[in-house]
Amino acid sequence: MKRYNLGIEATLEIIGGKWKSLIICLLMSGVKRTSELQRNIHGISQKVLIQQLRELEKDGLVRRYVHQQMPPKVEYSLTEYGVTANKIVDVMCSWGKENIKIRQQRGEDIVLLEDESLEDKK
């Protein structure tokens, strides 16, 4: 029997960690191929990306669609349930933006590249 004291514990298990909320954030802008995700998430390794995607799939947030073709083409998208999780990711994003602004005003040497990573580079 698994016990949770607060709802937030379950949330952290599912979208906690370094990468999952970023993946959800990117998938909100539409279906993405594996390689697209990897290019757009700075610093993630292929192993970790795929591992995180599989976990999100297992938890019902992400759908994996394999095109039966060569060369391989695999597409990931959010499920309906995954979209509900985006509510969280959304407030985290906007709170984070505000936080960065505040720290910039304080004189910290930081930038938000913002959305560059979301756009497809031509």
Partner DNA sequence: TCCAGTACTTACTTTCAAGTAACTACCTTA
Partner DNA sequence: TAAGGTAGTTACTTGAAAGTAAGTACTGGA
Binds 121: which of its own copies, DNA, none (CB < 5-8 Å by kind):
none
- Distance, C-alpha 73 to centroid of its chain: 20
User: Residues near 103 by Cβ (< 8 Å), separated by ≥ 6?
Assistant: 110
Compare residues 105 and 121 and give the one whose CB is closer to DNA. 121
Round to whole Å and give the CA distance between 12 and 34.
Answer: 24
C-beta of 4 vs 65, nearer to its own copies: 4
Nearer to DNA, 19 or 89 (CB): 19
Instruction: List all residues 6 or more positions away from 83 whose beta carbon is below 8 Å from its beta carbon.
Output: 28
In terms of Cα–Cα distance, which of 49, 53, 78, 52 is closest to 63? Answer: 78
Shortest distance in whole angstroms from residue 66 CB to DNA: 7
The site map against its own copies for 53-92 (x = CB under 8 A) is -------------------------------xx-xxx-xx
- 83-122 residues in contact with DNA (CB under 7 A) are none
Q: 116: which DSSP letter?
A: G
Tell me which residues touch its own copies (CB under 8 A). 1-12, 14, 16, 18, 21-22, 25, 41-42, 84-85, 87-89, 91-100, 103, 108-118
